[in-house]
Amino acid sequence: MLTSSAMQEETGAQKHDIKKDPATLLQDLTTESQNEASQGFDTKSALEIARIINHEDAKVAAAVKKALPEIAQVIDQVARCLRDGGRLIYIGAGSSGRIAALDASECPPTYSTAPGQVQYIMAGGPKALASAVEVNEDSEELGQRDIARRRPTRKDMVIGLSASGRTPYVVAAVAYARARGAHTAAVTCNQDSPIAAAADIVIVAEVGPEVISGSTRMKAGTAQKMVLNMITTGAMTRMGYVYENLMVNVHMQNSKLVERGIRILMSACKIDRPTAVETIKSAGRSVPVALVMLKARVDKPEAVRRLAKSDGNVRLAIEDNSFEL
């Protein structure tokens, strides 16, 4: 693990920023400012409250849109890392950490990713998902320790989430991962933040002041959720786990997902239900194998071979002229 002096030398100005007076820091953050649109909020009717929140929420997509070039860079880098056997590791605290945990947890059932491929680190550990352990987010040492336990390498992508952009736990973790050669990115809602200096790529969704000042689980949280949806969906699609707009790598572990797999096959191959069911059974309950069998008109062993050759990319496995068999 890096020593405190080494971390200070590597992170430079952003480490100095974290040590500034907290009151000064908060005063400078747009996410902590008072929102003029919600003045007198506590005197409003339920309908007025809902309207104000809805009006502010409508600004989130536009804020995320401005960061699309950076989001695209992260999508491609995540896909490269996963394709090379690396990992995507999210790290966050509070609401940001919980959003990261949600996105990581959704990848295995949606795309059949291996348990270790998409991970999350939460300040305070798993218990912080349900109970506030916010004091941990002030510790640079804990951030370094927690990411060090995952042993990040140049094959990995580490993404830090911090609405303020100054959470010491997250900034220190991202800086540590970068110093170890990992690819790094940050998702924040404030410009010119310490985490921006710590990461290789910075995604800024500047959503402005919250309806309830400082309640970054609102617009900032929505923006972060949108960004992470784009990153993992985009990366998995680039890896070929999506065919057309169908989640063909779905992991059929319950009745709903089995039904989804059948319907995917029916839609993609224009076949009836009995044919889809029978093909999935003969494919070992694998939608990608079944899809390649039907689309390329090959047997199961050949479909499995093509998928192995294409690193699981369904379209390449179907279109055998797209890669060297």
Active centre residues (catalytic): 106, 137
Q: What is the CA radius of gyration of the chain?
A: 22
Coil vs helix vs strand at 89: strand
Q: Which two tokens stand for residue 244?
A: 């057309």
Contact of 38 with 212, CB cutoff 8 Å: yes
- E strand or H helix at 70, and its extent? helix 68-83
CA distance linking residue 296 with residue 302, whole number of Å: 10
Coil vs helix vs strand at 7: helix
Backbone angles phi, psi at 72, to 5 degrees: -60, -40
* Residue given tokens 């966050």 in the structure block: 92
Coil vs helix vs strand at 183: strand
CA distance linking residue 246 with residue 264, whole number of Å: 7
Coil vs helix vs strand at 280: helix
By C-alpha distance, which of 239, 290, 280 is closest to 258?
280
* Residues in the chain, total: 325
Contact of 283 with 258, CB cutoff 8 Å: no
